[in-house]
Every structure is written in C-alpha cells, then in structure tokens.
Amino acid sequence: MQVRDDRGRKLGSALYSSASQIAVRLVSKEEVSEAALPEVIGQRINAAVQFRQQSVRDSDSYRVIFSESDLLSGLIVDKYNDVLSMQVLTQAWDRDDLRDIVLASLAEHFPDASLAERVDPHIRELEQLPARESQILRVPHSSRPLSAREWDKTIFTMNDVRFHFDGLAGQKTGAFLDQRENYAAAARYAHGRALDVFTYQGGFALHLARVCDAVTGVDSSRAALEVAEQNEQLNRDQHHSGEIEWIEANAFDLLKDYATAGREYDTIVLDPPAFAKTRRAVATALRGYKELNLRALKMLPPGGILVSCSCSFHVNEGEFLAMLGSAAADAGRRVRILEKRGAAIDHPVLLNVPETAYLKCIICRLLT
C-alpha cells in the first residue's frame, strides 16, 4: 500500500495489518508497486544473507533475517547449520505471494538446508490469522531416506561448542543466537566455580565448562535441562571441569537460599527471560532484576565475575546500569564494569528503531 501524511504528501510504500498495533510497516520511502514487490524483497533478502556471510566467523548458525534491521519488518529467519527456522509476525508475510517469494529466495541462497516454520499461536491470534501448526516447509533434494520429522533436527556449533537443535520445539526459533558472542566473552573472564542461572539449554554453562573448575546450570524447565544434558554429552571432550551439575529450580528461591547459606561462586551468569513486556511493567521488572543481582553479588568473592543480562527492550541500558549500581550498593560491593555488550553482529541495530537494541549484557568484576 502507498502511505501519505495528513497533507497528502507521499511517505512511501508499506505492508499493512488490519489487526496489529503497528498497522503500517514501511517497505520503502519510494513508491513500490505490487508488481515490483518481489524484486524488492529478493534484494533485501540477498543483502541480509551477504551481510551475515561476510560478518559471522564463529558459527555455522546465525540470524539470517532480523525484521526491521533488514528492512523486512515482521519476518525472522535463523540458520542452524543445515536447518532454517522461519517465524512470521505479521499478516503481510502470511500472504501466499509474499511467502512464496521468501521461500524461493531462501531456497536459492541455502539449497542444501531444510526449512521449518515456527508458529507462535499468540502472535497469530493477535494478527487475526488462522491457526497453523509449526511445520516443515521445504526439504532439500537428497538421497538420504529421512522422514519429514527428522528434517527439522540438526547439530549446530557456536564458538566450537555444539548444540542439538529441534526446529519444531523450544523457545523462539529454537535457541538464543543473539547471545553467541556474549557466551564467548563470558568465557574469557570466567574462572573457578561458576553458576549459570536461567541456563535454558546450557548456552553459557557449556562455554564456562571449558575454563571453570566446576559449573552449575539452573533452570525451571525440566525439558530445557534435558536438552542441556544432551548438549553436555556432545561437548564432554571439551570440559575442563568434568560433569556439569544441572538443577531444576526457581531462580529467585534458589539464589535466596544460596545467599542466605553463604554459598560462594567465582563466576555467576544471570540471563533471565524478558521481565518487561510493556513499558508499564518496567518498575516491576527492575525490582526483579535487582533482587537477582543483589543475591548474586552477595555470593561473589573479591575478583569474582558477574555477567548480568536483560533482553527486555523496555528496560534501557541506563535503567539497567542504575539497577545494577543500586544492587551493588545494597550488597556493599564495589564493582568494575569490564564490558557493556549487546546482541551478536547478526542481530544488527537499526538507528532510529530502538527496539532492535534490546539486549544488554554487562560483564563486571568485584573489587577487593
């Protein structure tokens, strides 16, 4: 559709949703006809793929298309080794003609990869789209006698650490590729006994196990921990510390109990889910972040490392750092920031679209 302001001046061309809070998503500041749309989308996908192929050096897996950041608002595509995982977030990308353009372009760029579509029922409900199951959309030509279900599974690598991937299970599109570079950064500073809280499928824990004497991974999801244990087996030959201890527990309760009991860890990672889904939830989210970080700081000795993360866009970096400073003051700790980090390079930030700068990762050292 063509977009004009209230004076009738042309603003460009956009994709429209009749249900979304964001009704209009700009495609181009120029007029783009329906006939020209396939070429524009193909060019955008080509540019996105080339950028990742030029910039990602530490993994066979990365985000191929990052919605607004690649000027393809509402479309997410991740690559996990030889499996692509696609997620549609708006009405427009559910149109048959636009889906066909995306599928054809991805098949051209990744001819040997299968393609799974991850469906979020809540998003489809909000967009007033018909219900759909997660599914395999494409398999490459191959003589291997595999069933359709097996085409969504693979083993992928980040920073020489291997992970199981199931394209039709787990959170988001299956893993947290945005933390890939932060996993490696945390391992550069980690030492001694390490605690990874909200470990999910072991992303931080498995990286820490290569350098730490002992590692404990904590999550409230038994299903996630079962995958983490399988991932541990894939990387057993790289472990510095032997087995990782996996604990199913509520993070708030566990940290409170551990801090009260006087437990100490040399390295603690906090990587919780988004606490603030809306701006109204920020105050509550900050209280939650502070409680976690306060407990963790009390458990760290001088020289200890804290890796504290937030993926809540509505909590900005300034607010997150202020929270961390308040937690340090209440814990009676002096803290030096070693690194302020964001998402990996395959999740680029688009200037003037602050939602693309959602991830905060602060690496700190406690001073003597």
The domain ranges of the chain are 35-144, 176-366
Residue 55 has what pLDDT? 95
Say which residue the tokens 């200890």 belong to.
304
Residue with tokens 């991830």: 359
Query: Which of these, 266, 241, 100, 112, lies nearest to 189 by C-alpha position?
Result: 266
Domain 176-366 has CATH 3.40.50.150: yes
How many other C-beta atoms lie within 10 A of the C-beta of residue 99?
17
The long-range contacts involving 345-350, CB below 8 angstroms and separated by at least 24 positions, are 345/55, 345/56, 345/181, 346/52, 346/55, 346/56, 346/62, 346/63, 346/64, 346/66, 346/177, 346/180, 347/63, 347/66, 347/69, 347/177, 347/178, 348/51, 348/66, 348/69, 349/69, 350/68, 350/69
Let me know if domain 35-144 sits in CATH 3.40.50.970: no
Structure tokens at 143: 């003589």
pLDDT for 173 equals 55
CA max distance for the chain: 68
Give φ, ψ of 363 to 5 degrees: -105, 125
pLDDT at residue 1, as a whole number: 67
Question: Angle at CA 250, nearest 5°, toward 249 and 253?
Answer: 110
pLDDT of residue 156: 96
- The pLDDT, as a whole number, for residue 109 is 96
pLDDT computed for residue 143 by the predictor: 45
pLDDT tens digit sequence for 139-182: 887 545 555 557 889 999 999 999 999 988 766 556 799 999 99
Per-residue pLDDT of the chain (368 residues; tens, 9 = 90+): 677 777 877 777 777 777 777 777 877 777 777 888 889 999 999 999 999 999 998 899 999 999 999 999 999 999 999 999 999 999 989 999 999 999 999 999 999 999 999 998 999 998 999 999 999 999 887 545 555 557 889 999 999 999 999 988 766 556 799 999 999 999 999 999 999 999 999 999 999 999 999 999 999 999 999 999 999 999 988 877 778 999 999 999 999 999 999 999 999 999 999 998 888 999 999 999 999 999 999 999 999 999 999 999 999 999 999 999 999 999 999 999 999 999 999 999 999 899 999 999 999 999 97
Question: Catalytic positions, please?
Answer: 311
Which one, of 85, 67, 88, 75, lies nearest residue 130 by Cα? Answer: 88
Task: Share the mean pLDDT of the chain.
Answer: 91
